[in-house]
Each structure stands twice: as C-alpha cells, then as structure tokens.
Structure 1
C-alpha cells in the first residue's frame, strides 16, 4: 500500500512533531465515520466528540495533506461569493441566516487554538488591498454590507494609511479586518487532530476510502479494513476523487501556487509588513501574502484549472511578488509548491445529505480556512437533529459545469482569462 507523504512545502518542513498514526487494518464500528482529515473533517470530528459521539476519521494520506496543510494561511471572513450575491440568489431570509454565519469560522479557529493550546503562529489582522478606485469603492460597499450583519472590526484605509501597514506603493487604499489574521495552516490541522484524539476519537492515516456501502448502517471500505457507522461525513473536498459520483459533476479541482522566501530578517520583514498583517488584493485572480513566524514571506496566487501541477511554480509566482516588492529581487526562494482547492460554478460551498445518513460539505472555492471550521459545526448540528443552519447551506442552488467534466476545465479557464483581462485593465 502506498505511503503518501507531505509535499515539499515550507509548512511540512516547519511542522510540529506528531506521532505516526496507523493505517486501518481491521473492521471497526463507530457512530460517525469522517472521510478526510482536513479542516472540514477535523472540525466535524471535534464538535461531534464534544457532544458525545464516537468518531473515526479516515485519511488517505496524512493529516492536513490537502488544502488544509498547503493554503496561504489566511483567516478571511465570509464566502467566496459575498452575502449580497447570496441575497440576490436566494432572497433575504436565507441570506440573513448565512450572513450571520459568515464571520463565525474565524471565531471557531481562535476558540480551538485557545482551548486546545494549538501552536500555529496565530496573528490578528488581515488587509484587503485595492489597486484601483473601483476596487476601493467595492471595499466601501463591502464594509457597509458586513456591518449590516454585525461585523464591525473593520477600518477603511486611504492611500497614506495602507502604506503604514503594507510596504508597497501599488495600492490606492484598502480595508483592515482585525478579526481576520493568519496561521501556520498545517500546524493548525495537526493541533486539531491531537485534540480529536484527546477526546477519544481515532484517526487512521494512509487509509483511503475506496468504496461506500450505502444503507441503514453504511460501511466505508479501505484497502485493508472497513468502518461500519451510523453516519458518514464526506470531507475529502478536492481530494475526494470519484468516491461519490453525485458530487463530482458540480465541482472542479483547481490548483494554486505558493512560494516562500528565505528568512528576511527583522528589518526587511518589518519594512514589508510593519504590523505583521496578512494581505490579499482585490483582483478576481488575486495575489495574497504574509510573513511566517520566522520572518519569511509567503506569496501565493494564480490558478491552474483542472489541478495540473505546473512545471515551474517559482516562474509563475516570483514575478507577482517582485511587482509588489521589487526590493526582494535578490532574495532566494526556499520553497515552492502547489495544492488543490475545489471550485463550484456558483463559487458557494456545496452542503447536503445523501439518503438519511451520508452528509457532505465541499467546494469552498478558495475561501476555505474559515468556512471549513464553520462547516464542521453545522454538520455536527445536523447529526444532532438541529438542521436549520445546515438547511440554509443545503438549499443553495448548484449547477453542473457547462460541457460536463470533459469541457469544464477549458470553460473555467476561458472565464478566468476574461476576468484576468478585467483585472489588468481595471474594468
């Protein structure tokens, strides 16, 4: 059986030490079998264990192997499509409930870090940076929108003010969200996995789910064992494959690329990001960056539709970094990697139930760090019979990509090309 290790990323190289976890080699029974030990699966497991369920987690590789251990590490509120878009799509009543949840994921992360003493370099403060007056106008509208739903930790930044928090001269302004922030994402996942085990949950690594036997007492089969459960939570996201065919048609794995510099030293790091906030710009195809605990710059951006691994990640991302920070032209890149996220046509998460006992959440569309933690809470509520918040997500409309799986990648890439032109020309 394959022994899948982490990709060669900065996060894997700086991960906290954890004991090895065994592969499932037996038949076990549990209340809930969770497929996937990323944020969605771990958050679900924690909330369920805290409410008295027996939980078994199956992970095809290692805890946090997928997007949860490879992302930009930014705590960004709301969803990939904001609450006003949801309101126009489903009406004010459903949007009100989803809007109330839009800022909950970040609070859950901070509660988990505090409660379980997770060492993940948590820092407060995230900046949305505007490259044009049009983008600045959007941020002004976004601030009013978020404040309408009770989110008030926001400050608009004019050109002078944003240069106090970002050492870059290409922005005309921005918005600071002090409930945003950043973390070492793999260490957050590893800490949550340890918390799961501290509450009596079991995690099996190198144990991919290869088949789900549906029925009143569903069974999840792995290469060397099986788990019989009352409920199943499918939390594989972009790494689920075709395990559940119903979920594959309305989503598409996409790759994003990240690079990490050598340590910059205190003086240069402070010149780039004086308050140690994380930053993302307001382009459709956005760039994002932040400092690590040891004063490296992590810089990400770009999308590869269909989740192919590009041949030279540094060649794609380094020019973007130098456009923002030309003073880094002689700085060495120590790490470059790619990872997959799951895109939906609506850019909103897919949540639902198959039959009476198989639940799922997927398709964060690049906005998953906070949403996945909320999703775990919402899924756990549904299994306890409190389904109002689950239903608010489950009732969101979703559609297959035009052309089916064969043509979804070129269609999505064409759309991204169009929006890339809009970014370039400020349209």
Structure 2
C-alpha cells in the first residue's frame, strides 16, 4: 500500500498522488541537439502512450516535458477508467452519421483494454481495481442509463448491469441515489504511478524523456525542428500532446479548445473496514449529473472525491470548502472527516465535447481535448497516432473526421458562454430534468 510523504511533492502540485508515487527520480532537462524518428511534446498520457507504442515498434523517440512526467491532468485526475467518449456514440451517430459512429463505436472500449494490457505485460504497480458505477439521482437519469446500456451492448460491452434503488445501496452506502449501472469493464487506479511506469518502459525500450524542457519554438518543415531553452530536436515526425498545458505554443489548437479546472481531495486513512462500509466492492463511482462528482477508495483506504468545473482553468478559493459540501451530502456518515490532501488541475474542453485529432502539414500530428474522458481515450489516441506514423491511419483518420469548432466569441468569450451553458445544465440537474 502507498506510504504518503509530502516531501515527494516537490515540483509537482501537492497532491495525494505526488506524495505516494513509486518513482521519485527526476529526468534531466534537454541540453543538447538530438535527432529522432519522432519527437513528442508532452509527457502526459497522450504523449506517453504514443512514445511507448512507437518504442515497442523500434522507433527512436524523444519526449519533451515542460514540467514533470504526468504533471498535468494525467497525474491529477480521479483515476477512473470510464468507457466511451464525453459525448457518446449515439450523439456521434446523430450529428455525424452512422458510418463514422460505427468506426468510433468500435473503438469506444479500447482505451481501458490498452491500459489493462500494459499493466499485465509490464507488471505495473498502480493500485488497479476493476469495476465502475454510474449513479443516478432520479428516474430521468435511470432512463438515460437504460438507453446507455442498450447502446454500449450494441458495440460489444456486455459487462453492464442495471441497479435498482436497493441494489445500488448495497454497492454505495449513500442515501443520494435511486439506481445506477455497474460497468465491470470500468475500473480505477493511481494515475501518476501509471504515467511514471509508462515513462520507465519507454526508457527501457531506448526512448529518451527530458523534464523541465519547455518547447519555445517549432520550425515547421518536412523535418520539424523543436527548440527548448538549452537544446533542440530534429525529427521526421512531431507529435503535439500538450493538451490543457500546451499554452499558446500552437495558436490554431488553442483557438478551438479551453482549459477547465476540476478539484479533488483525499480524506485521512479510513481503514479497510470503514472504507468497505462506504463502497463494499471498492468500485469507483461517478454520478449522472452534467456537472458530476466522482469518487473511489484509494489503495491505502482513503476516500478520494472530486468534482466541479472552473471554466478557463484554475481553482476556487477553497477546494476543501467546495468539495466538502458535495462529499457530506453523498456520505453523511463522513461529516467532519479530515481531509489530508486537496488539489486541482486542468483538462481540455472542446465545444463538441469530442476529442480533436489532426495534422498540421505532413510531419506534425496532434490529439487533444478529451473533455473529461482522458484516462482511457488518451491511451487509445497514443496507439492510433503510433499506427498512423507507421502508415496504418484508419483509426486516427476516423477521429480526424470530427469537426473542430471554435468557441462562440473566440478566446475572449469562451469562458462566459460556456459558464452560462453550465449554469443552465446545473439547474437541470437540480430539477431532475
């Protein structure tokens, strides 16, 4: 079980994950000129998955990370393997046609499978546990889950079980829910330990990773040149995988996406008996609200609880105050429980809530904007990018067909417009519509 050590948080945000990470070594900053088959910007899940799959195929790969491995959403998230995309397959079919829906639907459960395969193949220690629950507050949300079960079964997920009011209370000891759905193909894990393990695998396969190596310039050509403050990489293919932490490095990507913050806490250690009184089978849980809450039991039997959205990124004045009201409403028996860690982090939102894949010329490829479904979809994205670089681009090109819409009013108005929409859906949540 993980042992917490706040000193390990140095240069990472102070979080439960940083304090319980298995790998405490720091990679060097780039301070030389290198050549590579592929250079990857960003050592989050998209970049790591890409680099790992390419390294397995024998490619010479260099990864440049502005901060530390898993510094962004990949090392701060709720740790849940949630299937499909932030907008589900039925929305894709309605908006983009049955042919594209079939292509993307066939891959909707692949991300979790990729993670499981990596954990098994490389014996990754990341507190992985099977199973996730979607929890419904009202009858309308249960109708949605019934439709979701039928939809997912059409695309091969037969590990789903609907839960009535009595059954969900057996799984989640909370008075809040009227029912739910158990997805045994879901699960949860320690996300930073997964990211760090993937980095070690990449290095064992000959790849190079440099931390504290922010990219300050890209020379776009048939063989892109990527510059940092003290070094550079010339490559055959450049992969841009910075997501919410890319900043303005690639303006055309920033214009069609928006960083959004979410907040997480972990309680003091509850002990196994008390933890299982809350969630007996230790499944992870997310509710069915538009602005949803998510939670799970960690490897050392704390409750990890997160939720909320701050549009444009950043955190509220008090994460603890914000999360406590939600947690205690879900689990009144934990009223007054001690919080030992509280942190926030940004994910990247798109207007369609669907990921953005594409190319910038012949030699630059990117994927971003998972809109809250990043743990699984990033791993799929990395595999698809790897395949595209190797000349098998069918899966990547299917995602690249999705249009990339700009936010109304551009970057100046994207936050207020999106906040107005979120307020509307928040009212719908409260009214049970």
Which category of TM-score, normalised to the shorter sequence, fits these structures?
over 0.9
Distance 2:273 2:38 in 1: 50
The answer as to 2:259 corresponding to 1:256 is no
1:387-427 Cα shifts (integer Å, max 9, x gaps)? 11111100101210001000100000110000000001111
The TM-score, its normalising length taken from structure 2, stands at 0.97
Pairing 1:7-156 to 2, within 5 Å after superposition: 7-156=13-162
Post-superposition shift, 1:267?
1.9
Pairing 1:19-418 to 2, within 5 Å after superposition: 19-418=25-424
Post-superposition shift, 1:19?
2.3
Query: Is contact 1:132–1:426 with CA below 8 Å preserved after alignment?
Result: yes
Distance 1:418 1:316 in 2: 20
Distance 2:24 2:93 in 1: 43
Distance 2:363 2:161 in 1: 44
Query: Is contact 1:18–1:190 with CA below 8 Å preserved after alignment?
Result: no
Runs (4+) off by over 3 Å: none
3-state SS of 2:253 partner: helix
Post-superposition shift, 1:89?
1.3
3-state SS of 1:144 partner: helix
Residue ranges of structure 2 left out of the alignment (5+ in a row): 1-8
Distance 1:90 1:382 in 2: 22
3-state SS of 2:106 partner: helix
Distance 1:244 1:266 in 2: 47
3-state SS of 2:337 partner: coil
Post-superposition shift, 1:18?
3.6
Post-superposition shift, 1:117?
1.3
Query: Is contact 2:357–2:366 with CA below 8 Å preserved after alignment?
Result: yes
Post-superposition shift, 1:51?
1.1
3-state SS of 2:258 partner: strand
Q: In 2 relative to 1, CA 248–4 (structure 1 residues): closer, same or farther, beyond 3 Å?
A: farther
3-state SS of 1:186 partner: helix
Post-superposition shift, 1:60?
0.4
Q: In 2 relative to 1, CA 196–100 (structure 1 residues): closer, same or farther, beyond 3 Å?
A: same
Distance 2:195 2:333 in 1: 33
Post-superposition shift, 1:139?
0.3
Distance 2:222 2:403 in 1: 28
Distance 2:376 2:430 in 1: 29
Post-superposition shift, 1:214?
0.5
Distance 1:362 1:201 in 2: 22
Query: Is contact 2:314–2:344 with CA below 8 Å preserved after alignment?
Result: no
3-state SS of 2:348 partner: strand
Post-superposition shift, 1:368?
0.4
Query: Is contact 2:314–2:345 with CA below 8 Å preserved after alignment?
Result: no
Distance 1:349 1:102 in 2: 12
